[in-house]
A and B are shown apart, each in its own frame.
Chain A
Amino acid sequence: QKEVEQDPGPLSVPEGAIVSLNCTYSNSAFQYFMWYRQYSRKGPELLMYTYSSGNKEDGRFTAQVDKSSKYISLFIRDSQPSDSATYLCAMNSNSGYALNFGKGTSLLVTP
Chain B
Amino acid sequence: GAVVSQHPSRVICKSGTSVKIECRSLDFQATTMFWYRQFPKQSLMLMATSNEGSKATYEQGVEKDKFLINHASLTLSTLTVTSAHPEDSSFYICSASDGQGTYGYTFGSGTRLTVV
Q: A44-B44, A44-B93, A51-B101 are in contact. Are A98 and B107 (CB under 8 A)?
A: no
Contact yes or no, A43 B109, CB < 8 A:
yes
Contact yes or no, B99 A41, CB < 8 A:
no
User: Once bound together, how far apart are the Cα atoms of A100 and B4, in whole Å?
Assistant: 20
Contact yes or no, A46 B43, CB < 8 A:
no
Q: Which of A45, A95, A96, A103 contacts B107 (CB 8 A)?
A: A45
Contact yes or no, A42 B97, CB < 8 A:
no
Contact yes or no, A102 B43, CB < 8 A:
yes
Instruction: List chain B residues, Cβ under 8 A from A41.
Output: 91, 110, 112
Known: A44-B107, A98-B49. 18 other contacts (CB 8 A): A32-B104, A42-B109, A43-B93, A46-B103, A46-B104, A46-B106, A46-B107, A49-B103, A49-B104, A88-B44, A95-B100, A95-B101, A96-B31, A96-B97, A99-B105, A101-B44, A102-B43, A103-B42
A interface residues (Cβ-Cβ under 8 A, vs B)? 32, 34, 36, 41-46, 49, 51, 88, 90, 95-96, 98-99, 101-104
Subset of 27 A-B contacts with CB under 8 Å = A34-B104, A34-B105, A36-B107, A41-B91, A41-B112, A42-B109, A42-B110, A43-B4, A43-B6, A43-B110, A44-B93, A45-B107, A49-B103, A90-B105, A95-B99, A95-B100, A95-B101, A96-B31, A96-B32, A96-B97, A98-B46, A98-B49, A99-B46, A101-B44, A102-B43, A103-B42, A104-B43
